[in-house]
Structure 1
Amino acid sequence: MISAGILISLVWTFTFSDPNSGSSTTLVPLENNHSSEVIFESLAKKHQNIPNLEALNYALEGWEKLEHNLDKPLLTVIDFSLPSTEKRLWVIDVEKREILLNTVVAHGRNTGELMAKNFSNTPESFQSSLGFYKTAETYQGKHGYSLRLDGLEKGFNDQARARAIVIHGAEYAREEFAKSTGRLGRSLGCPALPPELSAKVIDLIKEGSLLFIYGKDQNYLNQSTLVQP
């Protein structure tokens, strides 16, 4: 957890060049020394593949608002603005500024083909839902070892448990599948992972860590109170 004693006031605007996009992004930093550009720079020094600055900034805005309700200092970021062939899931230790795991992840069947474009909170939509989730308990289901998720944003993902939106392994979420088809296979809305990595991810983040699913969806970005400064 980030203690109140480390908070400092930051009132300036920061411009940073994102190596993943090749463009510059201007942001107002979070009001502490865990601001997004500081963590972004720390991650960039240690890792080749990192979340883009915009996705990370939104994720950390929510982290600041929700961390007091978490049991683990881990933040999982899924960036659905990237194609499914890219490693677009990161498990980040926020306090140590370390990426613990990075992998591909599948989106929902009706969310899109290679790119995730359509998002829904509606049962039977077979679409992915954006926003913040708290990881919950594990169970053995039709996809084997799986992790339940509780959506924290009413109207955007609060139907996750009712829809059985969970993290699980799937053969169609393997990189080899993408190489043969040009994209990963798609789920019924779950963030599905390569089966050889799913148990490791689940054990890392289960029982009380934060997960953020990002997408370039203006309805969500304009209305979610958790991503706003």
Structure 2
Amino acid sequence: MKKILFILIPIYLLITSFILPKLEIDKSRNKLDSVTIKSNFVSSDNSEVSKAEQIFYSIDFTNSEKLDEKVFNNAFKGFEKLKLAGKLPADSHLLTIADFSKSSNTKRLWVIDLENKKILFNTLVAHGMGTGDEFAEHFSNTESSHQSSLGFYITEETYTGNNGYSMRLVGMDKGFNDAALQRAIVMHGADYVSEDFAKNHKRIGRSWGCPAVSRDLAAPIINTIKSKNCLFIYFPDENYLNSSEWLKS
């Protein structure tokens, strides 16, 4: 009997030496699989956020002012919703963002090619004289207020007027910028939007509410984003951020 036990014990140890590691590996695999499944679930459940993050972190900001990720996420969310609502063409891939929380002396306007994940323009942009001096503070949708208006705009046709080559803008946020056409809020070039002007006056000049850019870049920017593209003017105004239909989940 003892001889039989001596024979069986080594056999048992040999068999379990193969089985136990396999069980541990299977457990590890199951654990990894569950983590992967959970990760995939979270990604699919928040696909819009994931898409925005993927694009944002693929953009090279080395030679431009760094855009705030939260600002980009808001702009991208509204951009996608405007496409779904048929306000923008389904193949639209240009997104222009003006971050009016930044000093007017910084390059706070970006024109981004979302398809190629590339910054096409990054430059100065003016706010309205009623909105503030170097920094924007006040916003309005009222005619003759000379204030900038927050929100999403659709770019329209171009024309040549008192401010030279210009582009009409249609405000998409009710109560915040939907009076843009009536107020003649357009994108145009201006001599007071320049680094030289900022050095001499401690800030760039101000418009009557229009997102004015430099004379040199007016035509290139306008010709790039005209005719049904998206412009988003941002400021951390809680009333606007909580009210805009394009930012609601």
Q: Give the TM interval when normalised to the shorter protein.
A: 0.7 to 0.9
RMSD of aligned residue pairs (Cα, Å): 1.8
Q: Which runs of 4+ in 1 moved over 6 A?
A: none
132 and 61 in structure 1: CA distance in 2 versus 1, 3 angstrom threshold:
same
User: Normalization by structure 2: what TM-score?
Assistant: 0.78
**Which residue of the other structure, out of 169, 181, 198, is the alignment partner of 1:149?**
169
1:110 and 2:130 aligned: yes
Q: Counterpart of 2:121 in 1: which secondary structure?
A: strand
- Residue in 1 that maps onto 2:88: 70
Task: Give the unaligned 5+ runs of structure 1.
Answer: 1-8, 13-27
Q: How many residues align?
A: 205
Q: How does 1:177-188 map to 2 (within 5 A)?
A: 177-188=197-208
1:42 and 2:58 aligned: yes
8 Å contact from structure 1 (residues 137, 148) kept in 2: yes
Q: Deviation string for 1:17-73 (max 9, x for gaps)?
A: xxxxxxxxxxx95527532x2222111466542311111010011011012432432
Greater helix share, structure number: 2
Q: Counterpart of 2:97 in 1: which secondary structure?
A: strand
- Residue in 2 that maps onto 1:60: 76
Q: Counterpart of 2:156 in 1: which secondary structure?
A: strand
Q: How does 1:1-229 map to 2 (within 5 A)?
A: 11=42, 30-31=47-48, 34-35=51-52, 37-44=53-60, 47-67=63-83, 68-71=86-89, 72-229=92-249
- Give the whole-Å Cα distance in 2 for the aligned partners of 1:184 and 1:157: 23
Task: Give the unaligned 5+ runs of structure 2.
Answer: 1-39
Identity %: 50
8 Å contact from structure 2 (residues 49, 73) kept in 1: no
User: Normalization by structure 1: what TM-score?
Assistant: 0.84
Greater strand share, structure number: 1
Give the structure with higher Rg (CA). Answer: 2
- Give the whole-Å Cα distance in 2 for the aligned partners of 1:83 and 1:131: 18
